[in-house]
Structure formats: structure tokens, C-alpha cells
Amino acid sequence: MSNTPVNDNFALLPDSYLFSAVGAEVARFRDSYPDARVISLGIGDVTRPIVPAVTQAMRRAVDDMASAETFRGYGPEQGYMFLRQAIADGDYAGRGIEIGADEIFISDGAKSDLGNISDIFSRDCRVAVTDPVYPVYVDSNVMAGRAGQLTSQGWNRITYLPCTEATDFIPRLPETPVDLIYLCYPNNPTGTVLSAARLKEFVDYAREHKCIILYDSAYEAFISTPGVPRSIYEIEGAREVAIEFRSFSKTAGFTGLRCGYTVVPRGLTGKCADGSMLSLRDIWLRRQTTKFNGASYIIQRGAEAVYTPEGRSQIQAVIADYMRGARLLKAACVQAGLKTFGGTDAPYLWVKCPQGYDSQAFFRLLLERLCIVSTPGSGFGPAGEGYVRLTAFNTEAATAEAARRIAAIGVL
């Protein structure tokens, strides 16, 4: 026992009540019906194995570690130049976007960076998030003491930008002043995207109000609709206001390998209490060199292979496979008379609950009648109520079977 004072903000965080309740309900159902063939379209984890180009590169890297001439100890905290250059060329220069390797920071995943970025901003920053939202953005700000108190309308110091059918799933610009705006496109959980014109409104807003956009594009590789921005830096002026977060998790199945990166453009600044300006790139570098010792050499070699011609075509085939599943699920929902959003440029479908059902009741119906696990939308924020999320990340066979069950349910 100790009397050591703790970060009180942790006491503010509620248990992830809904998600644990949902997990318990699925476990109970499996216990009661051990023969039921339950298909999980709930969690956002991939199922396809790592592609050969990547595993071969990692094997070679393992051999590097076994030989005195090629052994590597601590690497650069910011990531190896071979990977940063591959990213700068492959994800940016190749698409006409000017991002230098010195503006790219490799990490063990986007979730770490999205949580850690909080370190470089003042506790007094006012934060805006879309609603529904990837919970990391909110909870990391609660931990930092920026969220205020939890009320029935959410945290009272956080500005919520509702994304519902009524807004076409497009967040409105904040009506009260904010310092940080989190955007995630293609969106988790709704699977919807923002057009370049809509994204430009946010970039213009941030330039005018001198605030920062934290842009999570973990799902950019799933975009197939021409013109949908893959990077916020496709938008003019975004280099002045945006930090971008990316991940190999969904793009290349790295959820268990762990690799992601964050782009902090040179010239992006924030203000100190005394009015002086600091380069966000420089203080993020300082934060990373102090608290992080770099991602694994072997994993970075694997990530580098994603940018080879073989790597690219292999991961594109996997993504095409997931998106075929998404189309099957979407068609099945339409056949069942369910209104469905997303699923075109993202592996998520956002399904509107039929009349008379809230998120949890519809989750239960899908579980009990179809043995399908979904995620109740209400777990992602107040505006998620009335929807469930289905993922297309299960195996091809399981997704196809789930689609058959949904289609056969009859018009709800």
C-alpha cells in the first residue's frame, strides 16, 4: 500500500462499460449455445496473414541480426532512414505531396502516437472530436486533464462534432474556439469518408483560427473512390496546420507486428505561455528521443517491403479481398432492408438499427437470431446510438456466411 499521489484523471475514466458488457454477453451466448457458429464482425482486427514480400524481408532482417557485420543495436529513435525514405517516396512524393523523410517519425503503431502526441500540447488545450469517435482520442485527453467532467452529454470540456445521417456523416466546423481537432478518415467506426472539398473547409478553418488538426488516416489504403483524399496534405495549406497519423496495421496486417508513423511538417508551430513559438516537429522529436527508443529493426524492414512492387501488389490483393467482403455485407444489409453507410472506402459498415431497436437491442438481435457479433454504435459516443458497426476483417468464408445470414433475415 502507498500514499503516493496518482494522476487523478485516471479516476475520471469510466470502465469501458458497454464494450465489456458486450463481451460478457457474447461469452454467455457461446456458453448457452456451444454448437452455435458465431461469426465475429465485432472487433477491428485483421485475419489475413502477412504477405510474402514482408515476411521474406523480415527473415532477411533476422539473419542480419545473427551476423556481426550486419547486427543492429539501438536504431534511430525517429526510425531508420530506409523506411522513412520509402514512406516519403511511396506515400507522399509518388502522389505529388511534399513530405520530407525528416518530417516522418516511425513508431510501434498509430495508437501509441495518437495517445502520446498529447504530451506536446498544453493541458489547457480545447479539444474537438467527431461523435461517434475512436475512443483513444477522448481517453488520452481525459488522462491529460483536458476533458473536464463526464456528463450525460459527454465530457464538458470536449467539443463534439456529431456525424449522423442528418449531417450526412460530415462533421460541422466547431462553433466554439478549439485548439486541437481530431479527424479520422476513412472513419472508424462509421466507414464514411470526407471529400477534398469538405476536408479543405477544416484546413481553412484551422488556418484561420490557428489551431491544429490531428488527422488519423489509418484506413487510407482502403480508399477506392477517385478523388477521396488519402492524406490531409493533399489539401492546400494543410502543412501549416496538420499532423498525420498512419499505420501498417490495417494496410498490411501489422496489428501483431506493430508499426506506424506520424508526420509532423517542419514549420508547424505552437505557442508557449510566454508567447514564443516552438516547432511542433522539434518538440515531438525531443519527446520521442526521450521516451521512445525506436521500433524494431526487423519490423521496420518488413514495413519497408510494403513499398516494393511485390509488397504493394500483395497487400493490394489482401485489401481487395477485405473490400469484397464489405460489398457482400453491404448488399446483404440492403437486401434485409437495413440502411447502411460506409463500407465503400473503409472496411467498416455503419448499419442503422431498424425501427424500435437501439444499438444494444439490435446488437442482441444480430447475436441471438443470426449468431453474428457486431459492435453497438453507442460505445463510440452519444451520436453512435441507433447504429451498429460491422467489420469486413473476418475471413472470406466467415464474411460470406455472415452476409448470407443477414440477407436471409427478411426485411426488418
> How would DSSP label each residue in 74-106?
S--TT--HHHHHHHIIIIIGGGT----GGGEEE
C-alpha–C-alpha distance, residues 180 and 337, integer Å:
39
Instruction: State in angstroms the smallest separation of the CB of 292 from ligand PLP.
Output: 14
Instruction: State in angstroms the smallest separation of the CB of 354 from ligand PLP.
Output: 26
Using CB under 6 A as the criterion, which residues of the chain lie in contact with ligand PLP when the complex forms?
44, 109-111, 134, 184, 188, 216, 218, 247, 249-250, 255, 260
List % helix, strand, coil for the chain (3-state, nearest 5): 45, 15, 40
Q: Looking at beta carbons, which residue is closest to ligand PLP?
A: 109
Closest to ligand PLP by CB, 84 or 111: 111
Q: What is the dihedral of CA 400, 403, 407, 411, to 10 degrees?
A: 180
205 burial (CB, 10 Å; 0-12 / 13-18 / 19+) is middle
Closest to ligand PLP by CB, 134 or 202: 134
Instruction: State in angstroms the smallest separation of the CB of 184 from ligand PLP.
Output: 5
In the structure grid, which three cell numbers stand for residue 62, read together? 533476422
SS3 state at 189 = coil
Closest to ligand PLP by CB, 80 or 215: 215
> How would DSSP label each residue in 275-309?
S-EEEHHHHHHHHHHHH-----HHHHHHHHHTTSH
In the structure grid, which three cell numbers stand for residue 403, read together? 452476409
C-alpha–C-alpha distance, residues 259 and 307, integer Å:
14
Closest to ligand PLP by CB, 188 or 374: 188
Closest to ligand PLP by CB, 343 or 371: 343
Closest to ligand PLP by CB, 365 or 387: 387
Closest to ligand PLP by CB, 146 or 250: 250
Instruction: State in angstroms the smallest separation of the CB of 35 from ligand PLP.
Output: 32
Amino acid in position 287 = R
Closest to ligand PLP by CB, 217 or 340: 217
Instruction: State in angstroms the smallest separation of the CB of 169 from ligand PLP.
Output: 15
User: Quick count: other Cβ atoms within 10 Å of Cβ 349?
Assistant: 28
Angle of helix 396-407 versus helix 359-370 axis, rounded to 10: 100
Closest to ligand PLP by CB, 109 or 174: 109
Instruction: State in angstroms the smallest separation of the CB of 399 from ligand PLP.
Output: 18
In the structure grid, which three cell numbers stand for residue 199, read together? 476536408
Instruction: State in angstroms the smallest separation of the CB of 138 from ligand PLP.
Output: 12
Instruction: State in angstroms the smallest separation of the CB of 408 from ligand PLP.
Output: 30
SS3 state at 232 = helix
Burial 69-98 (b: 16+ CB within 10 A, else e): eeeeeebebbbbeebbbbbbebbbeeeebe
Instruction: State in angstroms the smallest separation of the CB of 202 from ligand PLP.
Output: 17
